[in-house]
A and B are shown apart, each in its own frame.
Chain A
Amino acid sequence: MATTPEIVSGEYKYGFHDDVSYLAQTKRGLTRQTVEEISGIKGEPKWMLDFRLRAYDHFLARPMPTWGGDLLQIDLDKIVYYRKPSEGEEKSWDDVPDKIKKTFERLGIPEAERKFLSGVGAQYDSEVVYHSVREELTKIGVVFMGTDQGLKEYPELFKKYFATVVPPEDNKFAALNSAVWSGGSFVYVPKGVEVPLPLQAYFRINAENTGQFERTLIIVDEGAKVHYIEGCTAPIYTTDALHAAVVEVIALPGSKVRYTTIQNWSNDVYNLVTKRAHAHAHSTVEWIDANTGSRLTMKYPSIYLRGEGATAEVISVAVAGKGQHQDTGAKAIHLAPNTRSRIISKSISKDGGRTTYRGQLKVAPGATGVVASVRCDALLLDEGSRSDTYPYIDIQEDDTTMTHEATVGKISQDQVFYLMSRGLTENEATNLVVQGFLEVFTKELPMEYAIEFNRLVKLEMEGSLG
C-alpha cells in the first residue's frame, strides 16, 4: 500500500502537472466546464465524469432549500471549486488572526500542528494528504486512503458502493458535492477485522474562498469494527468558505462503526453536510457529532436501519455563539424488524447564537418490534439567543415502542450556587455545569479529544472566542 508522499507523487504521474494553465485551481464559479476540468485533472474513468455531470445538472435544477438557516449570503460564483495540493497561496504565520493563535495556545495544540492547522505549514487544500496508516493496519488488509486514490486503486469496490447511500439527487448540496467532490477518506475494513485504533483524518480549508467538497466512503465488511474520527478541536481558519461534504457509511451485517466528528470551522464557514449510514442486519452504527464552529451548520447524521436487528445511536452536540446558527440533529429511519435507535442531542445557545434541533424518527411499514428513543436538551444562556426544536416522529407499525423527550432551560442557579459554596468562582461553577451537561458526549471521546473539547467549551463559555 502506498504511503502518504507516494500518494501525492503518484497522482502527479497521472499527467496533470504539465498543464499549468489550470493546474493550480479552477476558475471561480461553477460551470459544466469546471466539472469536466476537475474530472480531467484527476484522470477519472468516464463513469465518474458522467456521474459528476448528472449531479451538476441536478444541482442547477434543484432550488435552494427555503428551510433551515440563511443560505442567501452564499455566493456560489465566488467559490473556487477545485484547488490542487501544494499550489495554494503561501501564507505566513503573521497572517493568522490573533484570536486563532490564542485559541491554539489555550487548547494546548502542539507548535507544529498549529501551523499545519492554520494552513501555514503543509499547504494542501483540497486533497487529503494527512493519512497515517499504520503498518499493522495495512497488514490486516485495512484500506485507509484519500477518496481519489480509492477510486484509482479499488475501482470495483468503489463503484459498488459510491453514491449508494447518498445519491446526488438527495439534496442540493449533495448534488454540488457529487459534481465537484475532491478528497475525503476511503476506508475499507475486511470481514471480521477489528481496527484497534481510531482512524483519524484532518480536514482543512486553507486558502481564502476555497470550498471544500470532500467525499468520504467507509465500507465495513461483515463482523468488522472501526472507529473513524474526523476533525479536531482547533478552529480551522478560513474566510467565507463553503464546506459541502458527503459522508457515506456502509455497515455490512454484524459490523460496528463509530464515526466521531468535532467540527470547529472558523465562524465564516457555511457547513452543509450530508452524512448517512446504511446499517445492515445486526450491525451497529454510531454518529458522535459535535458542532461548535462555522457560521451556519446544517447537518443531520442519519442512519437507515435496513437489516433486521440493526442498532443506531446518534449523540449530537451543538454550541452556537455570536453570529452562529447550528441547525443540526439526527435521523433514524427504521426499515427492518427488531431494529433499535437512540438519539441524544445537547445544545447550547449564547451571545445571540441560535441552535436548532431538527430530527426525524421514522418506522416504516414492515419494521416490526422497533424500539426507539430521542432525547433533546437545550441550554439557553442569555436573552437574544434562541433555541428551536423540530422533531418529526412518524410511526407506521403498531408494535413500535418510541419515546421522545425534550427540555429547554437555563443553567441551574442552584447548581452554580452549590459549587460556589464549595469555593469555585461563578465562572468555574458555570463551566462545570456546562461540562456536566455535555458529558454524555465527552465521555464517548478518546481521552485526548475529550480534554481538548472541554478546554474548547471553557473558552467558548468565557466568550474569549468572541
Chain B
Amino acid sequence: MTAADAADVAGTGSPAGTAVAPAPVAPRPRPSGQVRQGPTDLTLGFVDEGTVRAIAAAAGDPEWLLADRLEGLRAFAALPIETNPLYTSYVDLRNATLADTRPYTTPATVAPGAADETLLPEGAAAYAEISEDRVTALVVSPEARAAGVILETLDELAARDPGMSRQLLEGGCALPENDKLAQMTRALWSQGLLIRVPDGVRLERPIVLRWIVGAPGTALLTRTVISIGEDAEVSVVEEQVAASAPKATMAEAQAFFAGTTEVQIGAASSLSFAGLQDLSLRQVAFQHRSAVLGRAATVRWALAQLGSRVIRSRIDNKLEGDGSAVEQAEIVFGSADQLFDLTSYTRHLGRDTTGNLLSKGALADRSRAYFKGLATIDLSAHGTDSFLGEFAMLLSRQARSVAIPSLEIDQPDCRRVAHASAVGPVDETQMFYLESRGLHPDEARKFIVLGYLEPVVARVPLAGAQDRLRELLEAKWVAQSGSRSGTAEVA
C-alpha cells in the first residue's frame, strides 16, 4: 500500500481524505545512496523460506513446527504492515532501517552455571536472562520448583514434553493472524521461553525475565509462552534492555528485537505482568502480547516504554470467560525522535467482563506516540464494563501525540462503555503550587511529569524493578532536559 492510499483510507475524510496532509516528520539528512523509504515500507533481508528451514533444522524442529513456521511465512508475505484500515495512515517505519540485519538462527545455548541459585534476584521466584543468543541465567527457586512451576527455554520444552510443546505453539497460539510482524516472529523465532504455572499455585514472588540485546546488525526473534492453570496466581516482570552501553552512535547498524508474550489464563487465575522496554536509540522493537482469559481470570498489564528508535507494539486481550477482566496501564516517555506506535485490541466475548485500559505518554523533543486502542463488545458480552483512556503530555513544541480510542459495540446491555482522551501541557496550577513551595521550576516540572507516569510504576510487582524504573525515568528526564538545552543528542 502506498502512502497515498493510506491517506485515502484514513477514515477521517468525509468520503474524504483531508486536504491537510499529515504533517511530515522533520526531515533528516540521509546517507547518500539510501533509497527513500515510505512510511509503511519495511525491508528485511532474511524473511524467506531458506532462513525458515535453516532455523528449523538448527533447532531440530518436528514436522508440524516447520509447517507452522511456513504458515507464518505465507501470512507474512500476504499481509500489509497495517491490516486495520482505521490505522493505516498512522504507521511510520521510516526510521527503521533493517535491510541488512541478520537473525540468530540457532537456539540459545544455556551457559554453564546458568542455573546457579545465586543468580536469582532478590525477591524473585524464578529468573531467566537471555543475552543475545545465550541463556545466561535460568533459575527457579526451590519453593517455586516444589510447587511445580516451570521456567525453561522452548528448546528444553520440546525435548521434555513434545506434546505440550505442540499444544502451546501450534497454529501460532494466540498470536494475531492478521498481523504481519507477529506472523514473521511465528516463522522465524529461534529463542523462546515457557512459564508454566499449575492449577492452584499462588506464587507470591514474581518471575523475572530479562532480555539483553542489541548487537549491531542482529535480529532476535523470540516467543514467550505463559500458561497458567486454574485458580493460580502469578506475577511476571519482563525487562528488555540494550546490550551495549548507551554511547552507541547513530552511524552504527540498527538491531531489532521481535518478541511475543502469549498468555493463556485458566479459570479464576490471575497474571500481573510488568514490562519495561529500555532499548537503545539504534534498536527497533516489535512486541506482540496476547492474552486469552478463562472464566473469572484476570490479567494486569503494567508496561513502560522508554527506549527504541521505533517501537511497534500490539496487545490483544481476549476476554472469553465470563467475569474475566483486563487491567492495562501503559506509559511512554519519549525523547529525541523516538516513535511509539502502540495498539491495543480488547475483545469482550464472555458475560460480565471488564476492560480497564489506560495509556499515558510524556513526549519530549521530536518524539511521537500513536495510541491506537479498540474495544470490541460482541453480541454475547452482556454486562460488559469497558473503559479506554489515552492521555498525553507534550513537553516540546516538536512532539506529537495521536490518540485513536475506538469502540465497536454490538451488545447494548453493558454496565459501562466509555473512553476518554486528553492532551495538555504541564499544568500551570500545579507548577505554581510546587514553585510556591520553594521548588525550582525545572524540579517542579520533573515532579509533575514523573508523577503523571507514577500510576504505572506503582503497579510493577517487584520493589527492585519499581525502583529501577523510577531511576530510568529520572535518568531519561535528565537526558531529555539536557538535549533541550542542546548538550546531548542521543540518550
Contact = CB atoms under 8 A, between A and B. Distances in A.
Interface of A: 62-63, 65-68, 166-167, 170-174, 244, 272-276, 298-300, 302, 304, 331, 333, 335, 358-360, 362, 364-365, 368, 378, 380-410
Contacts of B401: 393-395
Contacts of A381: 412
B20 A170 contact: no
Contact of B423 (A299, A368, A383, A393): A393
Contacts of B146: none
Nearest to B13: A171
Contacts of B85: 66-67
B412 A385 contact: yes
B16 A400 contact: no
A398 B425 contact: yes
Contact of B14 (A63, A66, A302, A402): A302
B403 interface: yes
Contact of A386 (B394, B399, B410, B422): B410
B91 to A, nearest CB: 14
B9 A66 contact: yes
Given A302-B14, A380-B411, A401-B425, 20 more contacts: A172-B15, A273-B14, A274-B16, A298-B14, A299-B14, A300-B16, A362-B20, A364-B20, A383-B379, A383-B411, A385-B412, A387-B409, A388-B407, A388-B408, A390-B86, A393-B423, A395-B394, A401-B424, A404-B403, A409-B412
B13 A406 contact: no
A275 to B, nearest CB: 7
Interface in B19-75: 19-20, 22-23
A189 B222 CA distance: 66
Contacts of B404: 390-393
Contacts of B131: none
Interface stretch (B281-289, B290-298, B413-421): B413-421
Contacts of B395: 398
A275 B14 contact: yes
Nearest to B396: A398
Contacts of A406: 405, 407, 418-420
B364 to A, nearest CB: 9
Given A390-B86, A391-B421, A406-B418, A274 B403 contact: no
Contact of B402 (A166, A331, A358, A393): A393
A407 B406 contact: no
Contacts of A380: 409, 411-412
A155 B13 CA distance: 30
B17 interface: yes
Given A300-B16, A365-B23, A409-B417, A63 B412 contact: no
16 contacts: A67-B85, A272-B15, A274-B15, A304-B20, A387-B409, A390-B11, A392-B11, A392-B12, A396-B399, A402-B422, A403-B422, A404-B403, A404-B420, A405-B419, A406-B407, A409-B416
A300 B16 CA distance: 8
A389 B421 contact: no
A395 B408 CA distance: 24
Given A392-B404, A406-B419, A400 B17 contact: no
B17 A171 contact: yes
B414 A300 contact: no
A391 B405 contact: yes
B407 A395 contact: no
